[in-house]
């Protein structure tokens, strides 16, 4: 059976190399931040964003446990403010929409009003041959609506500038799926 996490990482790694700059727009517990940190190595840099202090503390522990190089900046702010922190281009960006994994507060989730501006800005930050991966969780109402909103937006992007794909398990409507945005 297809493992979506392995598939996501293979897509990211096909664009990312040592020394690149990238962003984890929703750091959560820091697993994507750690993956990106190791992928870009000591000469690269990862910017990671979250609005929850608990996510930052959890990410610090994950990065330490994983033995990641000191090549990251953890930012206690919303992903839609990324342009205030990142100068220049990024080669890769990851979004894991929804709520903090393991949190008891399922009402604190990413929201359409900040997700769309964040995704648009991330696209503007993409370097040539850059990639964004956006994981969507339609099992809760806001996640379902975020997915619809993003798909409608992605339909407006010229295929001559970007390639946008959707990867989903068809026979499980509430299973997570992801979009990949690749800059040509």
In this prediction the pTM is: 0.93
Note the CATH number of domain 4-183: 3.40.50.150
* Res 29: pLDDT: 93
- Give per-residue pLDDT as tens, 89-111: 999 999 998 865 666 666 677 78
Average pLDDT, the chain: 92
Q: What is the dihedral of CA 106, 51, 115, 70, to 10 degrees?
A: -120
């Amino acid at each position: 059976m297809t493992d979506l996490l392995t598939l996501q990482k293979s897509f990211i790694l096909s664009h990312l190399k040592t020394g690149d700059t990238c962003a984890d727009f929703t750091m959560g517990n820091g697993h994507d931040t750690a993956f990106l940190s190791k992928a870009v190595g000591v000469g690269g840099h990862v910017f990671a964003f979250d609005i929850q202090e608990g996510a930052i503390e959890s990410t610090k522990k994950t990065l330490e446990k994983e033995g990641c190089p000191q090549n990251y900046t953890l930012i206690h702010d919303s992903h839609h403010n990324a342009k205030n922190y990142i100068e220049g281009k990024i080669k890769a960006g990851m979004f894991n929409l929804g709520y903090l994994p393991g949190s008891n507060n399922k009402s604190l989730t990413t929201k359409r009003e900040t997700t769309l501006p964040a995704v648009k800005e991330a696209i503007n930050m993409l370097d040539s041959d850059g990639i964004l991966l956006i994981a969507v969780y339609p099992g809760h109402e806001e996640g379902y609506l975020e997915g619809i909103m993003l798909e409608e937006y992605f339909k407006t992007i010229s295929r001559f500038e970007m390639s946008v794909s959707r990867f989903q398990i068809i026979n499980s409507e509430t299973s997570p799926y992801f979009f990949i945005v690749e800059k040509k």
